[in-house]
Amino acid sequence: MSQHTPGPWRVQGKYLEGGDYGNGRRLLLAEINSHRLGSADRVPKKDEQDANARLIAKAPEMLALLQEFAGVSGSTLEELHPRVCALLREIERKQ
């Protein structure tokens, strides 16, 4: 399996950016709120697109937490719980 673009990923205006290539340069991962999103039957509303973008932007952090939870790094559930809750708050926040 290929490696994903390193995190953190972030929503920057209408773009999803990731990686850190020095000098403040980041990789464009996706365009958000584009009229090209969705199927021919339905285009998601802006608030739904924004929620999707927040969820996608947190994918590297979610992967890291799941790997820890699976015992890759040996963290305990008590150590992970506050981080999981903080990550969920970031994903679910309203802008």
Residue that wins the pLDDT comparison between 56 and 91:
56
pLDDT digits (tens, 9 = 90+) for 13-31: 888 898 877 777 888 888 8
Ranges of H-type helices in 13-94: 46-57, 59-69, 77-92
- pLDDT > 70? residue 40: no
pLDDT of residue 95: 41
pLDDT digits (tens, 9 = 90+) for 56-73: 999 988 888 877 777 756
Residue 52: pLDDT band (50, 70, 90) is confident
Q: Which of 68, 57, 40 is nearest to 93 (CA)?
A: 57
Spatial strand order in the sheet of 27-31: 10-12, 15-18, 27-31
